[in-house]
């Protein structure tokens, strides 16, 4: 059995992505790791960070991003597909540049891949998610945050990244452009794996969190709309009251040790429960409706999400 790891990234160093830690987190169980590295800004150290890992399994594919040809976030999916197409494994393990796997889960992941290798009905593996927020001690568990997602898929040419690269679908005769199409696409049949993806995408110094938001919004909305959207925005992102969130009590992956130790924005965070932000500056998770649905999910349905759609067909395996 052969497993390939793959990812895509651009300006990961400038935007505070722990890309090297992400790659290192699954290197022990993959036979290769393919990185689609976009045309980074001058002075960005993403390539140096990846090369500093010093592992022959890692292969960098240089790419150029085209937001006109791939608008509305689909360049993320296109770049993911580029990396996927260079993989040679039976199973393909996708991690975004801010996603990390704990070393304690590696044996379980590898064993699950081996167990299901010859079960052709299983097209992918479904992971649980933890979305850290603001610091390394709190995470979002409310309504609207995806609790699970596909991160391992079979090496099949009809399986493609989908929409803004959050997930995957089977797309026969894909034209290579419309990553948001629904007609003629098929949800993957997946099995669960008892492992987590630890998502650190919302843990950054507040000024870099604002830079990352602008970058993501540019990919989805275009530079002109983003310039207008952020014309009067604060220089620093406000995470709101962390005391309202779930507290993380487990250990972090060993590869995140350096990142956690260099955290220096504690003084910018509100560790209490009172929200003193203007209403216009609050995110969707702070709205009364979503907070009420979060309460219902947690108190009545035992954490099971209400509504929403699943981009997969879950098999009993």
Query: What tokens does 17 get?
Result: 């992505």
pLDDT of residue 289: 59
Rounded Cα–Cα distance for residues 129 and 147 (Å):
5
Query: What tokens does 257 get?
Result: 């040790």
The answer, yes or no, to whether residue 49 has pLDDT greater than 90, is yes
Burial, 35: exposed, middle or buried (Cβ in 10 Å; 0-12, 13-18, 19+)? buried
Section 218-226 average pLDDT: 87
Interior/surface letters 64-99, b for 16+ CB within 10 angstroms, e for the rest: ebeeeebeebbbbbbbbbbbbeebebbbbbbbbbbb
pLDDT of residue 294: 56
The 3-state DSSP class for residue 314 equals: strand
Whether the CA torsion 177, 182, 186, 188 is positive or negative: it is positive
Q: Contact at 8 Å (CB) between 70 and 177?
A: yes
- Which one is predicted more confidently, 172 or 223? 172
Q: Give the count of beta carbons closer than 10 Å to the beta carbon of residue 3.
A: 23
pLDDT digits over 87-97, tens only?
999 999 999 99
pLDDT digits over 254-297, tens only?
999 999 999 999 999 999 988 877 665 666 666 655 654 554 55
Contacts of 305 (CB under 8 A, 6+ apart): 143, 147, 297
Rounded Cα–Cα distance for residues 282 and 189 (Å):
37
What pTM was computed for the model?
0.93
The secondary structure of 18-71 as a DSSP string is: -HHHHHHHHGGG-SEEEEEE--PPTT--HHHHHHTT--TTEEEEE----TTTST
| Domain positions in the chain | 1-317
Q: Contact at 8 Å (CB) between 1 and 119?
A: no
The answer, yes or no, to whether residue 312 has pLDDT greater than 90, is yes
Taking the CA of residue 237 as centre, how many other CA atoms within 13 Å lie in the half-sphere pointing to its CB?
Answer: 19
pLDDT of residue 113: 98
Contacts of 87 (CB under 8 A, 6+ apart): 4, 6, 32, 34, 155
Of 168, 190, 141, 113, the residue nearest 305 (C-alpha): 141
The answer, yes or no, to whether residue 306 has pLDDT greater than 60, is no
- Which one is predicted more confidently, 24 or 279? 24
Band of pLDDT at residue 298, cut at 50, 70 and 90: low
């Amino acid at each position: 059995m052969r497993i390939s790891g793959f990812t895509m990234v651009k300006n990961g160093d400038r935007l505070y992505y722990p890309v090297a830690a992400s790659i290192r987190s699954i290197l022990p169980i993959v036979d290769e790791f393919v990185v689609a590295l976009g045309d980074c800004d001058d002075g960005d150290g993403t390539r140096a960070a990846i090369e500093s890992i010093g592992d022959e399994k890692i292969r960098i594919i240089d790419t150029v991003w085209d937001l006109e040809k791939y608008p509305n976030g689909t360049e993320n999916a296109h770049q993911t597909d580029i990396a996927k197409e260079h993989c040679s494994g039976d199973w393909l393990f996708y991690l975004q540049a801010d996603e990390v796997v704990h070393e304690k889960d590696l044996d379980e992941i590898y064993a699950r891949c081996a167990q299901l290798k010859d079960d052709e009905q299983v097209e992918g593996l479904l992971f649980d998610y933890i979305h850290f927020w603001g610091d390394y001690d709190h995470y979002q568990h409310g309504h609207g945050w995806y609790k699970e997602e596909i991160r391992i898929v079979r090496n099949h040419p009809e399986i493609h990244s989908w929409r803004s690269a959050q997930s995957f679908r089977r797309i026969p005769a894909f034209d290579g452009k419309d990553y948001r199409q629904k007609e003629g696409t098929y949800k993957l049949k997946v099995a669960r794996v008892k492992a987590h993806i630890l998502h650190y995408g919302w843990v950054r110094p507040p000024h870099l969190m604002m830079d990352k938001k602008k970058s993501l919004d540019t990919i989805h909305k275009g530079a002109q709309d983003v310039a207008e959207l952020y014309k009067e925005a604060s220089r620093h992102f406000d995470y709101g009251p962390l005391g309202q969130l779930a507290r993380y009590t487990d250990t972090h992956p060993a590869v995140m040790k350096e990142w956690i130790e260099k955290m220096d924005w504690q003084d910018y965070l509100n560790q209490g429960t009172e929200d003193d932000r203007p209403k216009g500056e609050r995110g969707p998770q702070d709205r009364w409706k979503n907070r009420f649905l979060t309460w219902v999910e947690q108190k009545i349905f035992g954490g099971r999400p209400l509504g929403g759609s699943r981009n997969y067909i879950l098999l009993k395996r």
